[in-house]
Amino acid sequence: MTSETKQRPHVVVIGGGFAGLQATRELRKVDVSVTLLDRRNFHLFQPLLYQVATGELSPANIATPLRGILRKQTNARVILEEVTSISLDSNLVHTTDSAIEFDYLIVATGAIHHYFGREEWRPLAPGLKTLENATEIRRQILGAFEAAERSNDPDEIHELLTFVIVGGGPTGCELAGALAEISRHTLQNDFRSIRPADARIVLVESGDAPLDVYPEPLPQRAASDLKKLGVEIQPQCRVVEIEPTHVMVRNKETDEVKRLNTRTVLWAAGVKGSPLGAILCEAAGIDADRGGRVPVGSDLSVPGHDNVFVCGDLAQVKMKEGGEVPGLAPAAMQMGAQAAKCIRADLQSNPRPEFRYRDKGSLAVIGRCTAVGQIGSYKAKGFVAWFIWLFIHLMYITLFRNRLLVLMQWGWTFVTHDRSARLITDGANSEISTMEQATGWNADPAMPTTRGLEPSSQTGSDSSS
């Protein structure tokens, strides 16, 4: 850094997701020096990860290099690092290679999958958080059809063509609808020994219906739309065992346990705060909530540390009218902007504003030409909701080039049902790397509870099941 830069207050932002990137960009006209730390060199548009997992989009369509986004912001720099610890007393962020001093710290590392104490399920039921997850799920899905084509055993073929999705939130519904599209249309003429349309897609949901975070009649409409696509819904059920060849499901009402023979299980049932939240809470001498989130004040600062902010789905923010701020991208972006406003207010010796979440509504796509959602008191469904979902998500993709590529790919898929990115690549389910387990930081967050009218949050909770 130059001597001039050193004289400026130094803001360190951990995490280049929706909240962290928004905070960084909001500080572009503030007389501070910003360092954005991320384990990855790109910002990931996670609401469309499921389309990578199902072969509709390529990874490059939904990922944008952070340096490219911030190339014109001269007061910001990007450092690829993993955070190992935070010293609040000495205002230091410790990484694998160095210690970085800060005047202000913004932590926005999102959330990771929550397997409710059954970590042995993680390699057997991958979730959808990162590009690696998406390409691994794509490999498993397409590999199952390829293995079924080679098999001469009817029972094995049935197991290979049975796909179980755990969790009926937006992520689960999106995956179920996309799988139905793949098996009923995209692959219908690609094989000679099997009928892809015979694939069984099972959605396990602990509530009465998928998307039960919405008011009626939207959950029932979602269930109806999924059934029309050929998805089998098992409501009021919880997974009690996952093995390489089967899943055991217990009905909450009858206590009956049922076995589902399958070789592919996808997890969309819950998330918890990034492990960095626990590290931060320990450093601050406070307790995280049950979901591993960090409780923050009305200005999003950590209690007892006014210069440390937590944003996005790692933050537990209680609203005055009751309830908590949901795990949506609009909420994460608003939190990032709030942290920047507080820093600007401090530098101008003004009182800090309180954070107020502005609910812009939410949408969840079910399948081709159908979605459900709520905008204020208006309950959107069907083609209208689907069209709004397409438009909003397209507009919030970071670069115009990516918007154009996604628009072209969507148009081609809509007309032809062809998913041209259905490539089987080598890879492993690496949601949390060895280093992440050691450092407690996962920079790539989870999917949201509901799809916001702006893009869904970098993390959030599909925890309805």
Is the alpha carbon torsion for 446, 356, 321, 214 positive or negative? negative
> In a 10 Å sphere around its CB, with 0-12 CB exposed, 13-18 middle and 19+ buried, how is residue 317 labelled?
buried
Helix axes 18-26, 329-347, angle to 10 degrees: 30
174 is catalytic: yes
What residues are paired with 297 via a beta bridge?
none
Q: Which of 56, 81, 136, 174 is catalytic?
A: 174
pLDDT at res. 400: 66
- Domain boundaries, given as residue ranges, for the chain: 10-39+81-113+272-348, 125-269+361-416
* E strand residue ranges, 368-420: 370-375, 378-381
Look at the domain 10-39+81-113+272-348 and name its fold: FAD/NAD(P)-binding domain (3.50.50)
Rounded to 5°, angle at Cα 106 from 344 and 291 = 135
Angle ∠(70,11,353) on CA atoms, nearest 5: 100
Instruction: Give Cα 359 distance to the centre of its chain.
Output: 19
pLDDT of the residue at 447 = 33
Residue 427 pLDDT: 55
Residue 336 in tokens:
């990032």
Task: Going residue by residue through the chain, which has 465 residues, state the pLDDT in tens, using 9 for 90 and above.
Answer: 444 445 899 999 999 999 999 999 999 999 999 999 999 999 998 888 999 999 888 888 899 999 999 999 999 999 999 999 999 999 999 999 999 999 999 999 998 888 988 999 999 999 998 899 999 999 999 999 999 999 999 999 999 999 999 999 999 999 999 999 999 988 988 999 999 999 999 999 999 999 988 889 999 999 999 999 999 999 999 999 999 999 999 999 999 999 999 999 999 998 889 999 999 999 999 999 988 999 999 999 999 999 999 999 999 999 888 788 988 888 999 999 999 999 999 999 999 999 999 988 888 899 888 999 988 888 999 999 988 888 888 777 776 667 788 887 777 677 666 676 677 777 544 443 333 333 333 333 333 333 344 444 333 433 333
238-250 burial: b if 16+ Cβ within 10 Å, else e? bbeebeeebbebb
Query: The tokens of 193 are what?
Result: 């020994």
Q: What is the pLDDT of residue 6?
A: 53
Q: Report angle CA 180, 182, 188 to the nearest 5 degrees.
A: 110
- Tell me whether domains 10-39+81-113+272-348 and 125-269+361-416 share a fold: yes
Tell me whether strands 200-204 and 231-234 are parallel, antiparallel or unpaired.
Answer: parallel
* Polymer length of the chain: 465
Spell out the CATH class of 125-269+361-416. Answer: alpha beta
DSSP secondary structure letters along 314-334? GEE-B-TTSSB--S-HHHHHH
Q: DSSP of 157-191, one letter per residue?
A: HHHHTEEEEE--SHHHHHHHHHHHHIIIIITTTT-
